[in-house]
A and B are shown apart, each in its own frame.
Chain A
Amino acid sequence: RCRASGDGKPEKFQPPPKPVIIDKQKQRAERRFLSPEFIPPRGRTDPLKYYMERKDMIQRRKVLNIPEFYVGHVLAVTTADPYANNKSNRFVGICIQRGGRGLGATFVLRNVIEDQGVEICYELYSPRIQAIEVLKLEKRLDDNLMYLRDALPEYSTFDVNMKPVSRLDHEEIPVNKLQVRMKPKPWSKRWERPKYNIKGIKFELPESKMKAAQKWSQPWLEFDMLREYDTSKIEEKIWQEVNEGLKT
């Protein structure tokens, strides 16, 4: 290496620059998941009531690990059952709906056992639940999979002794863009109507029926400002509160 201003004296040894390690795992934004039952609904109740509920919910989560799950995941739930052989009951199913807020939050699991469709509604914070395991992680195109009742039974059957699918922590949860085929009409609800806004069904109805269903569309709803409920700031505060509660 040539020196710009020759001095004659030996230059002090410059060590080579340290390699900069870019940790891609940390660079990816930390995925924050706040369970939807923590978000308080819009109303006139005192926020103190939600605060007391959240304390109880955090307390229960410290004892029972409630994993992060969405609608479309396949879960296995073991509950205490006084009338069963081993006093415990294990049910495997796909989560089709998550409802309720606060301690009364519920989720419905559906499975087809021996050609009989079975749906069980579990309360997340009930003390009878002993374990919740996520067997398969995949989000679906909709928030509410109630249409699986009118779909062909193959879409709701899941093996009771299914092994949990392994998954890395930081990966995004895959979205399954499956379009489900339905049984012939009549259905329990008219799923083709825009009110349900379902994207996960492969409608094999004639074009005239699909156009007739659009008569019930309410395009003004998306511009209704009174229906907007911006939960981003509330979610931030609650997420911090829940995290601190779970750490201690």
Chain B
Amino acid sequence: MMPIWTKSGKKHAVTLLKVQDCHVLRYVSKEESGGKTAKLLVGGKNVSPFSKPESAHQIFKEAGLPRKQKVTTFNVTDDAIIKPGTPLYAAHFRPGQFVDVTAKTIGKGFQGVMKRWGFKGQPASHGQTKTHRRPGAISTNKAAKVYRGKKMPGKMGNIYRTSFGLKVWRINTIHDIIYVNGSVPGHTNCLVKVRDSKLPTCKKYNKNPPFPTFFADGDEKLPEDLFDEEIFQFTDPSVTYT
């Protein structure tokens, strides 16, 4: 996470996400998958093929790619289908766009009710006998049962969570880095899924993205860094107010 300043002098915190060897692995049509839209399987970081059995390498052999650490599905409309084997780059996103980021949260292990659900617990003194961090009552008398989904101690973290509506401030095309506003679930160097935002207020900012994706061997030659309009670039002189 890094600070970034706007032209008015305000500071925002930014997370750096690196796009590492992303390739499209397979196209699954609407009828095959049984959903409402077609799906594209996309694979992440390259990893050694020797730690998994040969049966797991089927998808990668069909596409002609080395084994990837993570394979995710993206629901795609029919006009955005990409041929399996095409690499995906950070330039797929543009500054000013809004993005949802999904990742597995940091695993905290088996945790009590105060840390997991934010219960208040009991006072430390004034006669409390062996009861300082316990949940207290778990149901009422009339219910005569404990409802399903009651908040109780258990394994916390290590589940997929999404942070919505994160603005993309900057994109580095050489190192394939996306600078995304705010924080992102997951520990440092964890694998993360980045999608265009589904929030209705962000629809107007997501106009004219590179469709279906950014092709490196195409005609477009992008500069090394793409900045949002409001970012203060360090090549400019210091900010002054008028």
Interface residues of A (CB under 8 A from B): 43-46, 48-49, 52-53, 56, 59-60, 63-64, 80-82, 87-88, 102-104, 123, 125-130
Contact = CB atoms under 8 A, between A and B. Distances in A.
A125 B233 CA distance: 12
A63 B232 CA distance: 13
A127 B239 contact: yes
Question: Which interface residue of B9, B172, B236 has the most chain A CB atoms within 10 A?
Answer: B9
Closest 5 CB pairs of A and B: A59-B234, A82-B241, A60-B234, A127-B239, A127-B232
A127 B175 contact: no
A138 B240 CA distance: 31
B2 A53 contact: yes
B177 interface: yes
A103 B188 contact: no
Contacts of A53: 2
Contact of A45 (B3, B188, B235, B236): B188
Contacts of B241: 80-82, 87
Given A46-B189, A56-B234, A64-B238, A127 B9 contact: yes
Given A44-B189, A48-B175, A103-B2, 18 more contacts: A45-B189, A46-B188, A46-B189, A59-B235, A63-B234, A80-B9, A80-B240, A87-B242, A88-B240, A102-B2, A103-B3, A104-B3, A123-B3, A126-B9, A127-B234, A127-B236, A128-B9, A130-B238
Contacts of B242: 87
A123 B5 CA distance: 11
B11 interface: yes
30 contacts: A43-B188, A45-B188, A45-B189, A48-B18, A49-B2, A49-B16, A52-B172, A59-B234, A63-B235, A63-B236, A63-B238, A80-B238, A80-B239, A80-B240, A82-B241, A87-B240, A87-B241, A87-B242, A103-B3, A104-B3, A123-B3, A125-B3, A127-B9, A127-B236, A127-B238, A127-B239, A128-B238, A128-B239, A130-B238, A130-B240
B5 A126 contact: yes
B123 interface: no
Nearest to A78: B238
Interface in B1-38: 2-3, 5, 9, 11, 16, 18
Contacts of A63: 234-238
A116 to B, nearest CB: 26
A179 to B, nearest CB: 38
Contacts of B239: 80, 127-128
A84 to B, nearest CB: 9
Contacts of A44: 188-189
A239 to B, nearest CB: 20
A49 B3 CA distance: 12
Contacts of B18: 46, 48
Contacts of B236: 63, 127
A130 B239 CA distance: 8
Contacts of A82: 241
Interface string B203-242: 0000000000000000000000000000010111111111
